[in-house]
Amino acid sequence: MVSLTESKPTKAMWLFALPLLASAIFQQLYNIADTVIVGQFLGENALASVGASFPITMVFMAVAFGCNIGCSVIISQLYGGKKMCQMKTAVSTYFISFTALSIFLSAVGLIISKPLMKLLGTPDNVFADSMIYLNVYLAGMAFVFLYNIATGIFTALGDSKTPLLFLIVSSVLNVVLDVVFITTFKMGVAGAAWATVVSQGVSAICAIVTLVCRLKKISCEKSQKFSWLLLKKTAYVAIPSVLQQSFVSIGNLFIQGLVNSFGSSVMAGYTAAIKLNTFTLACILTMSNATSSFTAQNIGAGKMERLPQGFKAGMIMALCVALPFFVAFFFFSPQMIKIFLDSDSALALSTGCDFLKMTSPFYFLICLKIVSDGIFRGSGAMKLFMASTFLDLLLRVALAYILTPSMGVMGIWTSWPIGWSLATFVSAFCYFKKWWKPKGAMV
């Protein structure tokens, strides 16, 4: 466990963020492995079926990620303020609360999955496989939550290396199981889903066992098993994060419905492109998470003067991450899409390339929003965080529906950079106006 309140901010941020970046890469390999192997071994329709269920799984992932953020901010402030007993109480509170929440959401998801797939207008030729993939994924939802909570706690304590080790093992396991289940056992799309669930389960169990052993070494006079007060303070950060992530995912559901109306080939191309886009944003988001932990720990320690240096370091790191993705997606988009699809899928290939070329130049701009969001979350300024993100979402969805009748599928792609641009302006304005500055720690 490493304190982010003492060493030089730039050095501390780099050392902390690099393992986070590697973790994000391996975590995204869960999704990438499914998509590549499904597309190459099972074909275009199978790839479209995985893509059709993706926005729904992201709604549930949004809740898990929001819980991760809430845990991380509170634990960071407690750790930065050396309040070890409260920190241990917070950890046990989170595991009890969010395990119960994950079981509830899994049950609800299994009940409403079929109506949701119909509501999205999923084509008949991919509907059955989409349902299979989605239901298997939902059945393993508890693993997703538990891993996210454990990762958020490790990150809050300044340990970004331990989660990386777990992810390397589980990512390799995911790829191996994908190949075995699909090519040897002939399980089809279900094999890809089960490979993901098993791999996430391994990650979650390893992370929890290690975290428990680590926390036992921290001595304190007395800690509680559960605290409603800490849960309430966590909810102050987590609920806006959950709402933000959930509304983004719901917005993506509407966009997926538009994409579905263009047929399975366009769906397949969009699936490949959105996987790459999600991969990119997840990597850039690690810089936001690093900035958030840096901000929260330093606020907890009362060292506000270090925050602008943390913001600057976060921006430089985010831009460095965005650059290679832009080059790959803008100049080599056909080669990137062909990772997922064979060369015979002409319409799918052109669809994916158009999306990547439209969005990738704006990765540099979105870095400013993402790092500003890290400052907002770490300081507890959740209203600012939500405002800029909701604006982006509403504008993207509205423009997609407005532009599609005249521009076709290109209208959907055009809505992304416009939404990103306006949201970035709002976030940057709020940051430089210093509206996010707190009076002190939340705990």
**pLDDT grade, residue 164 (50/70/90)?**
confident
- The domain ranges of the chain are 9-432
Q: Which tens digit of pLDDT belongs to each residue from 86-120?
A: 889 999 999 999 899 999 999 999 999 999 888 87
- Residues 130-144, buried b or exposed e (16+ Cβ, 10 A)? bbbbbbbbbbbbbbb
Q: Report whether 322 contacts 243 (CB < 8 A).
A: no
Tokens representing 217 are: 């070494």
Q: Which residues of 383-410 are buried (b: 16+ CB within 10 A; e: fewer)?
A: ebbbbbbbbbbebbbebbeebbeeeebe
Please determine, for residue 361, whether its predicted confidence score (pLDDT) is greater than 90. Answer: yes
CA-based nearest residue to 12, from 313, 331, 412: 313
Instruction: Look at residue 124 in the predicted model and tell me its pLDDT.
Output: 87
pLDDT in tens, 257-281: 888 888 878 888 888 898 889 889 8
Query: What's the rounded mean pLDDT across residues 50-74?
Result: 81
241, 66 in Cβ contact below 8 A?
A: yes
Q: What percent of the chain has pLDDT over 90?
A: 21
State pTM to two decimals: 0.71
Give me the chain's average pLDDT, please.
Answer: 85
User: Which of these, 32, 358, 285, lies nearest to 167 by C-alpha position?
Assistant: 32
Secondary structure class of 439 (helix, strand, coil): coil
Q: Per-residue pLDDT for 36 more than 80? A: no
Check: CB of residue 336 under 8 Å from CB of residue 390: no
pLDDT at 325 over 90: yes
| Position with higher pLDDT, 25 vs 75 | 75
User: Who's near 283: CB < 8 A, 6+ residues apart?
Assistant: 21, 24, 25, 28, 321, 325
In contact, 287 and 371? CB cutoff 8 Å: yes
pLDDT at residue 343, as a whole number:
53
Query: Has residue 3 got a pLDDT over 80?
Result: no
d(CA 243, CA 372) in angstroms, rounded, equals 18
Using the Cα atoms of residue 112, residue 114, residue 115 and residue 118 in order, give the sign of their dihedral: positive
